[in-house]
Structure 1
Amino acid sequence: MPDAPDLPDAPDLRDVSVAELAEFRATVRDWCREHVPAGWRQAQTGVPEEEFVSFQKAWFQELRRAGFAVPHWPAEWGGGMPVAEQIVLYQELAAHDAPRLVLAFVGIHHAAATLLAAGTEEQRRRHLPAILDGEIWAQGFSEPEAGSDLAALRTTAREEGGAYVVNGQKVWASGAAHADWCLLLARTDPHAPKRRGISYFLLDMSTPGIDVRPIRQATGEAHFCEVFLDDVAVPAAHLVGPVNDGWRVAQETLGAERGMTMLELAERLGNAGFRWLLEACARPDPGGERPLDDPLVRDRLAGLETEVTGLRALCRDLVERHDAGTAGPADASIVKLYYSELLQRMTDFGTQIAGLAAHTELRKPLSSGWESGAWALDFIGSWEWTIPGGTSEIQRTIIGERGLGLPREPRATR
């Protein structure tokens, strides 16, 4: 695999010297060459779920032993890596086509961010070491009628005898079929304004009354799940933050999707994703013609490469300004919008180039991302990014109102 390009450092934000950063990059490169599993894409294609889970847990522990699993966590919990080194780490993991941490993602990012920002000391000591040991988390936010308008959620939690009894339904809960715990939002005050009557809970997925139903997707996978909650008792000790303050706490969770997570995705798109696209364009068709010899195809490739370079720079800028506390209120929306729509354009083009063969490829590596080279499946999967987590239309509204200061959209009145 090619090494990641040595992008220039930002002198005003760098927290290690140029020499130290170069030495760290060499260390990560050597580690990747030795530890990234050879042939993992083939080995993870078409495997049973239990093999996928086992592989994911083993890969997470491999990264943990090297100190690469949770570099963004505080040092006392196993992290503390300088931001400049984190950037290098994700560049090299992407360049060496390392597997993604699919199952651990919610735990190491969303759950950890929530616990560190709003959890009690007891909650942190209970769950952060457990996450490092392989505890899997899901996110119970969205509902059938509360997706982009999350504050419209209807799942209820009523206080009863030192616990909260929860009833309702969640949907699009990624990885919930394998989860040990879930980040749960529920309405504790039905009479309060939408955002002020929500509380935030840590839900043990082994609690009686929970029914998890995987949703079979167009790609054949069942990563998303529905979660039905029928009189589920959640101990009061599992409440995060004050009662009815769950909306504020949830912003800490959602904030974990910014910065390094987007930088990692951008690096993967610019490495494996673009590499698969070049290979598809260089592959002769049944008539012996290569798409790469068509000037229109070369022009499209040059445009996509330029966009990928811009995305990577944009993500790095966001990471550095977020760390410095200078990020703007719409910056994360800009990155999310740019990444998701570029991903869709690139996978759409890959599907066109691959032709009918792309539509007969019905499996992809389970530990890959949205740039596996199984083009039709990648393109279908790319819609996960332009719809969930705030649609492209909502991101544009945020950019307009919070970033550019445009007047707010008129609200519907009855």
Structure 2
Amino acid sequence: MTAELDEFRERVRAWCETHVPTDWRATQSGASDAEFAAFQKTWFAELRAAGFAVPHWPSEWGGGMSVDEQIVLYSELAAHDAPRLVLAFVGIHHAASTLLVAGTDEQRTRHLPAILDGETWVQGFSEPEAGSDLASLRTTARRVGDTFVVDGQKLWASGGLHADWCLLLARTDPDAAKRQGISYFLLDMTSPGVEVRPIRNAVGDSHFCEIFLDGVKIPAANLIGAENQGWQVAQATLGAERGMTMLELAERLGNAGFRRLVQACQPLDDARVADRLAQFEIEIAGLRGLCRELVLQHDTGAVGTADASVVKLYYSELLQRMTDFGAEIGGMAAHTHLTKPASSGWESGSWLLDFIGSWEWTIPGGASEIQRTIIAERGLGLPREPSVA
């Protein structure tokens, strides 16, 4: 710690004490889609006004915080039980990282300020027959003059009902090898031919959506990177999901998540429970260290080919174990408490719903099995896994 970081922490702490809404859990429990979206936009605007919305962006675009400052910011937000930026997540992380790595100057100038003004995004990657094997996608984009005509379907599109824009992968060369014939597009969700349908899950949420694309026209200017090179661009997006976003999520898990778990265990005087809590605290310390090292390596261009996969795998499976233990400790009460605030994450303390939600983290952005394959092949240099084709 330094005097500058201490001063920054005090500034963030003072801001949280006056700006984090103390009643958000109550008002967001049972909130409608419209109420959820309105609250998320208001909260994002508050963070932006304070300079806390996109600390991981370059300074010229409104960010520029050091890794240590980001850790302080995220730990204080978590410690003060601040709402999560659920609606803005894809925009400030996936869309921004894609634009910064592969976008044109015009695309960055058009969209990065708009994201700060509240423009929301959805990721149009997965399909009914292309989940973990994303390169098997079948949505097509046929070039006609200076536009592409897109037909197909996307699945598990988080936040699709509220999205203004979509990061879209589509096949532009059906005859090429499956990873070589894909292009990456920016899709205006108000375009004719776009239909969004919510997917209601077992507990009544409709966070996920299907997106149907019927003759949708996308200007060629909305192509990200070169035509048929979208798979390479997508790795930047997936890398952000697996890596850079983990810095905030690790602090959330280590503060709000672990604190709620300790509170749930306080009535119990059991050495086995104390041992489990100690083990979780050790694992959280390891996760924080991994995340900090990953961001530092990213800033210096020294990230290993499998480092982000290690962090994503570690986080998702630790989250799953912690929420499972919370559901076990909570007993019948935890199994019958079936509501949680709409603006919380998977560490809300509604243990059964958090545990169910934790399984989502072991699937998107590459399932745990995919992450282990990446770690084995790219990180450890082991032989490639045999193809089942």
Q: Which residue of 2 aligns with 1:22?
A: 6
Partner of 2:199: 215
Q: Cα distance, 1:101 vs. partner? A: 0.5
Residue 331 (structure 1) aligns with: 307
- 1:179 corresponds to which of 163, 167, 182: 163
Give the structure 1 partner of residue 154 of structure 2: 170
For residue 203 of structure 1, what is the aligned residue in structure 2? 187
Find the counterpart in structure 2 of residue 96 from structure 1: 80
Alignment check: 8 A CA contact 1:219 1:380 kept: no
Kindly indicate whether the alpha-carbon contact (under 8 Å) linking 1:158 and 1:166 is maintained by their aligned counterparts in 2.
yes
Out of 286, 292, 307, the position equivalent to 1:316 is: 292
Which amino acid counterpart does residue 128 of structure 1 have in structure 2?
A: L
List aligned pairs for 1:3-402, cutoff 5 A. Answer: 18-282=2-266, 290=267, 292-402=268-378
2:214 match: secondary structure: strand
Identify which range, 363-372 or 36-45, moves more after superposition: 36-45
Q: What is the SS of the residue equivalent to 2:179?
A: helix
Partner of 1:3: none
1:83 shift after superposition: 2.4
Alignment partners' CA distance in 2, 1:349 and 1:33? 31
1:378-412: CA deviation from partner (whole Å, max 9, x where unpaired): 00000001122211111111111111111111223
Name the amino acid aligned to 2:187.
Answer: L
**Which moves more between the two structures, 37-46 or 371-380?**
37-46
Amino acid across the alignment from 1:336: K
Q: For the residues of structure 1 that align with 2:317 and 2:57, how far apart are their CA atoms? A: 29
Paired position in structure 2 for 1:405? 381
Please tell me whether Structure 1 or Structure 2 has the larger radius of gyration of its CA atoms.
1
Name which of structure 1's ranges 192-201 and 19-28 shifts more when overlaid on structure 2: 19-28
What SS class does the counterpart of residue 169 from structure 2 fall into? strand
Deviation, 1:324, is 2.0
Any idea what SS the aligned residue of 1:257 has?
helix
Deviates more, 1:100-109 or 1:385-394: 385-394
Contact 2:199–2:208 (8 Å) recurs in 1: yes
Structure 1 distance, partners of 2:290, 2:79, is 18
CA–CA distance in structure 2, aligned partners of residues 46 and 319 of structure 1: 36
1:274 aligns to what SS in structure 2? helix
SS state of the match for residue 217, structure 2?
Answer: strand
Q: Compute the TM-score of the two structures, normalised by the length of structure 1.
A: 0.91
**What is the distance in 1 between the residues matched to 2:286 and 2:66?**
23
Residues 200 and 260 of structure 1: CA distance in aligned 2, closer, same or farther (over 3 Å): closer
Cα offset, 1:218, TM superposition: 2.3
Counterpart code for 2:261: L
Instruction: In structure 2, give the amino acid aligned to 1:72.
Output: H
Query: AA paired with 1:181?
Result: W
Deviation at 1:63, TM superposition (A): 0.5
Superposed CA RMSD in Å reads 1.3
Alpha-carbon distance between aligned partners in 1 of 2:81 and 2:300, rounded to the nearest angstrom: 30
**TM-superposition CA deviations, 1:290-334 (whole Å, max 9, x none):** 3x2122211211111211121112211212222222221111111
> Which of 217-226 and 377-386 deviates more?
217-226
Aligned partners of 1:347 and 1:71: how far apart in 2? Answer: 28
Q: Tell which deviates more after alignment, 72-81 or 229-238.
A: 72-81
Q: Provide structure 2 residue ranges, at least 5 long, that are not aligned to the other structure.
A: none
Deviation beyond 6 Å, 4+ runs, structure 1: none
The CA deviation string for residues 33-78 of structure 1, in whole angstroms up to 9 with x for no partner, is: 1111112112211111111111100010100011111112122221
Percent pairwise identity = 74
CA distance in 1 between counterparts of 2:233 and 2:315 reads: 26
Matched residue SS, 1:340: helix
Q: Distance in 2 between matches of 1:77 and 1:297?
A: 46
Distance in 2 between the 1:109 and 1:277 partners? 28
